[in-house]
Amino acid sequence: MDLIPKPDQVVSAAGNVAHKVLYGGLADLRPMPRTLIDDGTLREVYHYRPSGHVKETGDPVLLVTPLAAPAICYDLRRGCSLVEHFVTAGRPTYLVEYGEVSFRNRNLGMEHWIDEVVPSAIREVSAHAGGRPVHVIGWSLGGIFSLLTAADQPDLPIASLTAVGSPIDVSLVPLVAPLRPLLNWFNGRGPLTKGYQLLGGAPKPVVRWAFQLSSFQKLVTKPLALASHIDDTEFLAQIEAVDRFTDNMIAYPGRTFGQLYHRFAKGNQLASGEFDLDDRTIAMSDIDVPVLVFGGANDGIAPVPAVRAIVPLLTGSPEVRFEIVPGGHLGMLTGRAARDTTWVVMDEWISQWSTDEEPAVPEPKRRAKGAKKEPVAAVSAIGTNPARRHSSSASRALKK
C-alpha cells in the first residue's frame, strides 16, 4: 500500500479486514478431493479425483512428501496448489504421505522410506494408472528419498524424477555450516543426540520452530509486511496458507532423525554421491532415469549450490536438467511465482518424458548393465535455455 493510500486501496484494505473478521480468513483452503488407494505403516497413497468433466490422460505423477512437513505443501490453497494445477490439466495425480509420527515409530529409520514407503507407492500408482510409468516429484527430503530409492531399485516403473529444493551438499547450507565443528566435537555424545534419543525423535514444536528459524528475517518483518500489503488480497491469502502449513508440521521418528543428524548434518555423506544403508551402499550414479532438479533463488534451507551438487553425481542418467526458480524453500514449490516458472518447467519435462506424448527430444535408451556411461547433459537456469518455449523477465534476471 502507498504511503498515501489511493481510494481503491482503502476500499480493498477495508474489504480484506472485514472478510478476515467475519469469515476468519481470505485464503481458499479447501483440499482437492482425493481417494485412498493404498496404506501401510506411515504410508498413505492417495489418488486425486479428476476435476469436473476433465478426463485423465497421460502418465501419472506421484508427489512424495518430505518428513515433518504436512502434505498440504503440494495443495497449499486454491490457486497456489500444484495438485490443482495437475488435476485440472487432466494429469493423473497421486500423493504419498505419512500421517502422524508418534513415539512408537521411534525405531523406524530411513530404510523404511527407501525400502518400503516410496517403492510401494510407485508400484501402487503405476498399477492404479494401468501399468504406466510414474513421474516422481519430491520436495526437500522427499526429493532425497526419491533419488535414493531410484538408485537402489532400478526396476521400479519410473518415467522421470524431479527433485525440488533437495540439499545434497550440506556444507554449502549457511544455517548448518557454522554448527558443523561443534557437531563433530561432540562426536555423537552431545545434548542433541541425548535429546532425540530421550524424546524418540524431534517433536512437532521443535520442527515448527526450526522451520520458522530458517526464515527468521521474514518472521521478524511479517507485521510490517502485513500492514504494507493490507490491500493485497492474494498476498494476505498466501500468508494465511503458509501459516497453516507451518502450524501442521509433523514429528521426526527418532532413528530417522538420528541418521539425518549424523549422516547429513555432520557427515555430509550424500555429497560424495554414495549413501550407506544397512548392508549396502547406494550410489547416485546408478540412477538411470531422466532427472530434473530445481534450486530456489532465495532458499535459505537448501541454497542453490547445495542443490546443484547433485548434478555431477548423476552420471548414469540419460538427461539431467537444473533450473533456478524464484522463491524460498516453500515458495519455489507453491508460491505465487511458481505458477509461471516451476510448474511450467514441470509440465514441459513430464510431456518430454511421457510415453503417450510427443517428446521434445528423442528418448535415449537406458544404459545396459556394464555399458559405458553417457555424459550428463548441460544444465541451465530458467529463462537461459534457448530451447525452452517459456521464460519470463523475472526468471532471466536471476542469472544476472
Q: Tell which wins on pLDDT, 379 or 295.
A: 295
Q: Is residue 12 domain-resident? A: no
Give the torsion through C-alpha atoms of 347, 352, 356, 358, to 10 deg. 110
Q: Is residue 233 domain-resident? A: no
Q: Is residue 258 domain-resident? A: no
pLDDT of residue 255: 74
**Residue 349 contacts residue 162 (beta carbons within 8 Å):** yes
* Domain span including residue 170: 28-176+271-363+371-399
Q: Is residue 227 domain-resident? A: no
CA distance readout (Å), 47 to 66, 87, 88, 113, 250: 18, 10, 14, 19, 22
CATH number for 286? 3.40.50.1820
Q: Is residue 231 domain-resident? A: no
What's the number of domains the chain is made of? Answer: 1
User: Residue 12 — pLDDT band, cuts 50, 70, 90?
Assistant: low
pLDDT, average across residues 193-217: 45
Q: Is residue 131 domain-resident? A: yes
Q: Is residue 218 domain-resident? A: no
Residue 191 has pLDDT above 90, yes or no: no
Q: Is residue 226 domain-resident? A: no
pLDDT of residue 395: 37
Q: Tell which wins on pLDDT, 3 or 118.
A: 118
What is the DSSP secondary-structure string of 20-35?
A: HHHHS-SS--PPPPEE
User: Residue 248 — pLDDT band, cuts 50, 70, 90?
Assistant: confident
Out of 73-82, 115-124, 253-262, pick the least confident: 253-262
